Structure 1
């Protein structure tokens, strides 16, 4: 399902790029005269998350030229929820859901630094811009306990940290507690590193406002295996390779050279 989803997105991207590629010459000539600093934010989804995988904040600042096209310094901060490949929602007797075997949420904070190389820039509001991004940085993984509601009935259930070895009677699980339950009590840190490569497509501009999307892949490695699903039920990956899509909004500040 996820693989088909990203194949469709990739085909849409390629079709969009092909449809506007004839504008490359005009955009290249224009980029020699105009450059801009960009600051934006967006939502992201990836093959190791749900539909809403996290939030992204990013900035892009011109630092040099490659031919007639600018090279930008790329800085970003990602806040994402990483899921185990074998996570599945299980229905309970009262119609709510929980994830069997899940012991921890795994949140990751990713500061990133890199470069953004423009392949061609926008030439007016009716064109698109295309750039390539390569960035890397540390990954701060946070393992937060997964809570469930446990009891014979909804009124009698108690909220507790889920332990598949203790909560073996699935008929008594009446659902998952809020993702904020317990906040960061008993959370564990798991540092790592990551690198990402992407294509950034600037789709539309209204004045100084920018809308676009970034499609790419992220490779990530942690110092130890995070326990997302109980290690007695499944092996947890120590490295993650995922495709992602980020939709973003932002603003630019242009200057004439």
Structure 2
């Protein structure tokens, strides 16, 4: 009887070791597959970016390839406006508005609207293994690319000149010839509409780069819910003429480099 019990104990012990070894091997294989699989559960992602920054606003689309559980490479396109730090929007006084009618607010001393079309290539990396599970995952996002700057002339509605008897104002862009009237606050009614000057736009090549902290709720959920905070730089090969540089405003200078802090909100889907 003792021999039978000993045999049963040895058999049970052997079976236990066998099951334990199999389980460990399966777990190990599963972990290796998990860590080496590209994309883990998903392979692609598409996200909409909404990016307010220090001196402007941008929006665009981002297309990502999920390389591993902690690394995603992407490319994207976005367009946004960059404003000069000295831009201040103002309106005519209430008394003048009541007498002359309501007009759009305007930026005194501005000669061009400036927009940036950016082609971006970058990567985001999650900094901890919490990215594997649901919850807030922390990562680092960095990118760079080429930019196309778009200068659109800024038009103001100015009080008529003596030889113009058909209307009380007319739309004009800045020039050396009309500088005195363009900068005369008493001659300005307001800004013209957005479409005015689109056909006279000019272009400036440049580049951009950014680095940001990336916060993602459920880094591998189907739906993307993330935001970023960081710093971005736009640079061009010459000064961007947004404002009028004149002796009347000695501290106003245009620059070829724009540094901005930004907040980026991302919504999208993985597949």
Residue 86 of structure 1, CA deviation: 0.5
C-alpha contact (below 8 Å) 1:129/1:203 kept by paired residues: yes
Partner Cα distance (2:113, 2:51) in 1: 18
Q: Equivalences for 1:1-257 in 2 at 5 Å?
A: 32=35, 34-36=40-42, 37-49=44-56, 53-63=57-67, 65=68, 69-93=69-93, 94=97, 96-120=104-128, 121=131, 123-124=133-134, 127-151=135-159, 156-163=168-175, 164-183=179-198, 185-203=199-217, 208-232=222-246, 233=249, 234-253=252-271
Note the residue ranges of structure 2 that are not aligned, 5 or more in a row.
Answer: 1-30, 161-166
Task: Find the residue that maps to 2:84 and give its secondary structure.
Answer: coil
C-alpha contact (below 8 Å) 2:108/2:183 kept by paired residues: no
C-alpha contact (below 8 Å) 2:137/2:219 kept by paired residues: no
Q: Scaled by the length of structure 1, what TM-score is found?
A: 0.75
Residue 84 of structure 1, CA deviation: 0.4
Partner Cα distance (2:153, 2:117) in 1: 17
Q: Which moved more, 1:130-139 or 1:196-205?
A: 196-205
C-alpha contact (below 8 Å) 2:51/2:265 kept by paired residues: yes
Partner Cα distance (1:168, 1:192) in 2: 30
C-alpha contact (below 8 Å) 1:217/1:242 kept by paired residues: yes
1:6 aligned residue: none
Q: Scaled by the length of structure 2, what TM-score is found?
A: 0.71
Task: Find the residue that maps to 1:221 and give its secondary structure.
Answer: strand
Number of matched pairs: 214
Residue 225 of structure 1, CA deviation: 0.4
Greater share of residues in helix: 2
Residue 38 of structure 1, CA deviation: 1.5
Partner Cα distance (1:128, 1:78) in 2: 26
Partner Cα distance (2:180, 2:204) in 1: 24
Residue 220 of structure 1, CA deviation: 2.1
C-alpha contact (below 8 Å) 2:41/2:220 kept by paired residues: no
Note the residue ranges of structure 1 that are not aligned, 5 or more in a row.
Answer: 1-27
Q: CA RMSD in A?
A: 2.6
Residue 81 of structure 1, CA deviation: 0.2
Give per-residue Cα distances to partners, 1:117-145, cap 9 Å, x unaligned.
Answer: 12241623xx1222211111111111110
Task: Find the residue that maps to 2:200 and give its secondary structure.
Answer: coil
C-alpha contact (below 8 Å) 1:35/1:62 kept by paired residues: no
